[in-house]
Structure 1
Amino acid sequence: MEFHDVRFPARLSFGSMGGPERKTEIAILANGYEERNTPWSQSRRRYDAGVGLRSLDDVAEVVAFFEARRGQLYAFRWKDWSDFKSCRPSREVRFEGQIIGYGDGATTEFQLIKTYRSGANTYARPIDKPVPGSVRVGMHDTELRQGVAFTVDYARGRVTFAEPPITGIAVTAGYEFDVPVRFDAAAIQTSVANFQAGEVPSIAVVEVRV
């Protein structure tokens, strides 16, 4: 997949609307019962950050970003202001934030994940685009040093240890992250309200698999 490792300007995506979607196939049987199934193992997110009345410089920045991505051709990073940390948005990122795996004495690479819980049910979301410099990792209630005990692949969201964690030990991580997205329209519509301000009514983006 073609991807530019650059983030859409976060100050312009602030206030965007959107969130996760899932595809569910529903068959209604003759007796009124339903059979439900999903071809998606993971959710997908959509957002729309229509830029209201802004300076013409802001509008120009959106157009430049769209053109540099060649419209829908290249994906990019997007900050979801409602869900961008391994912990709750109001809390500080800590290395104990998420359990990303358990040591087996052989595995050295672990995928960053964020687990969503409601009651007894959970969903483990792979995190592919952590924010560079934000990842903290630990084991046994001890934070480890990046570059010494582990390295982070910020393009894939994977942590690699210099030595495999011992069997049964929980590997934990905390981080901020972006969502890999592409533009969901082939055109950007702009309008100029006056000599100093303009608007972009819709900036629709959709999450992509990486």
Structure 2
Amino acid sequence: MASFHEVSFPFRVSNGSSGGPERKTEIVDLNDGREERNASWSNSRRKYNVTKGLRTADDLYDLHVFFEERRGRLYGFRFKDITDFQSTRPGQKPTALDQPIGTGDGATKSFQLVKVYGAKFAPWTRKITKPVAGSVSVAVGGGDRSSGWTVDATTGLLTFDAAPANGVAITAGFEFDVPVRFNSDTLDATLASWRAGTLPDIELIEIRL
């Protein structure tokens, strides 16, 4: 999309960031003391604060450059969430069996990369649109498939040369980035304020693609 730059936020800054998923729930108190809860969003949206990642004057300068090239909130970009950036748990190596992404029907060639959270009560499926190039592995019917497919690193769409057979499970492992933008058109961060330890919050917010 024209309003997205396929470029990564400086990792040494993101490595010190904080943040995570946000959901929007409406709660109505009933007359008998009970409550009704309704989800306003079907999917979560992530927010990050990158201020604590600014450790040096060079970091601050690089942030200014990155902010200006993105024109503030105008252009989105990639962000590595160090708490959740791959198809498996932190500290484990992704494998082609990590995430179920579809079942073959003998006709469909393209499947969207996804990550499933939870299993027993109400698992949530997250669409992965920004896989890291070269990190994706694929299995068909439990067997690794090293060729015969391509993945679009800008959309997360996996496409096979030939449609997988009917009933065959398709799984994948990968690393991924979060599509985000700056949450303000103002970057109120100066070298003097950084040295004084008084930088304001610098927020990034997930873009739903």
| TM-score under structure 2 length normalisation | 0.92
CA RMSD of aligned residues (A): 1.9
C-alpha distance in structure 2 between counterparts of 1:50 and 1:37, whole Å: 33
Unaligned runs of 5+ in 1: none
Q: Which residue does 1:8 correspond to in 2?
A: 9
Residue of structure 2 equivalent to 1:20: 21
Please say if residues 17 and 53 of structure 2, whose CA atoms lie closer than 8 Å, have aligned partners that are also in contact.
no
Aligned to 2:171: 172
State the secondary structure of the residue aligned to 2:123. strand
Equivalent-residue separation in structure 2 for 1:207 and 1:74 (angstroms): 12
- Aligned equivalents of 1:88, 1:43: Cα separation in 2: 19
Partner Cα separation in structure 2 for residue 53 and residue 163 of structure 1: 48
**36-45 or 128-137: which moved more?**
36-45
CA shift in 2, pair 1:92/1:198, >3 Å = farther
Superposition deviation, residue 143 in structure 1: 1.4
Measured after TM superposition, the shift of residue 134 of structure 1 is 0.6
Matches within 5 A, 1:112-131: 112-117=113-118, 119-131=120-132
Does residue 192 of the first structure (1) align with residue 178 of the second (2)? no
Given residue 68 of structure 1, which amino acid in structure 2 is its aligned partner?
A: E
- Look up the equivalent residue of 2:16 and give its one-letter code: G
Aligned-partner residue type, residue 131 of structure 1: V
Q: Distance in 2 between matches of 1:157 and 1:115?
A: 15
Q: 1:53 to 1:113 in 2, by over 3 A?
A: closer
1:39 counterpart residue number = 40
Change (3 A) 1:142 1:52: closer
Deviation (angstroms), 1:14: 0.7
**Distance apart, 1:59 and its partner CA:** 1.0
Aligned pairs for 1:1-150 (under 5 A) are 2-51=3-52, 54-117=55-118, 119-145=120-146, 148-150=147-149
**How far does the alpha carbon of each residue in 1:61-100 deviate from its partner, in whole angstroms, 9 at most, with x for none?**
0000000000000011000000000001110011111111
Say which SS state the counterpart of residue 172 (structure 1) adopts: strand
Distance 1:144 1:208 in 2: 31
Number of residues of Structure 1 aligned to a counterpart in Structure 2? 207
| Identical aligned residues as a percent | 48
